Structure 1
Amino acid sequence: MKHTNKEVLLKGLKFLAGALPLAFIGPSVLYNAFNNQGHPWYIPVLIVGILATIGSIFLMFKGIMTIMKALFD
């Protein structure tokens, strides 16, 4: 099934909308983890922060690539 450019563009915008909260949450969690290095929950919080930041970067990349596909394909 062939998707229209409008559908592909909306899909890309959904990826970017999903990346937006992660772009704020990830660095905030990382900052809190590094400020509490002596706490027993340091490693799990650090892992969650790293995963949220990586997820944000991935969703941004995927969203921008999808939008470019909709505009130039």
Structure 2
Amino acid sequence: MTKRTNKELLGKGLKLMAGSLVCMFAGPVVLHSAFKNQEHPLYIPILIIGLAIAAGAIILAFKGMRKITDAIF
């Protein structure tokens, strides 16, 4: 009996990877905006948000890759 690709799990993994892709672009944009406006009173909160988005991109990428490999193998 051969194992087949779990399409539902593969779809979830691809959705996580899509979310990671969005965060990969949004994180550096927010960080760049924070670093350009260091004199602004909201510098620290925007910097924290940018770092959280960047960390979220890494986490989503790892979770997405894990789900995709689980679906294939």
TM > 0.5: yes
Alignment RMSD: 1.1
Partner of 2:40: 39
Residues 11-60 of structure 1 show CA distances to partners (whole Å, capped at 9, x for unaligned) of 10010111111110101100111111111010010011001111111101
Identical residues among aligned pairs (%): 55
TM-score by length of 1: 0.88
**Count of aligned pairs between the two proteins:** 69
TM-score by length of 2: 0.88
Question: What is the CA–CA distance in structure 2 between the aligned matches of 1:44 and 1:33, rounded to whole Å?
Answer: 9
Gapped regions of structure 1 (runs ≥ 5): none
Question: Mapping of 1:1-73 within 5 angstroms?
Answer: 5-72=6-73
Question: Following superposition, which runs of at least 4 residues in structure 1 exceed 6 angstroms of deviation?
Answer: none
Question: What is the CA–CA distance in structure 2 between the aligned matches of 1:6 and 1:25, rounded to whole Å?
Answer: 29
Q: In the alignment, residue 63 of structure 2 is paired with which amino acid?
A: K
Question: What is the CA–CA distance in structure 2 between the aligned matches of 1:71 and 1:64, rounded to whole Å?
Answer: 11
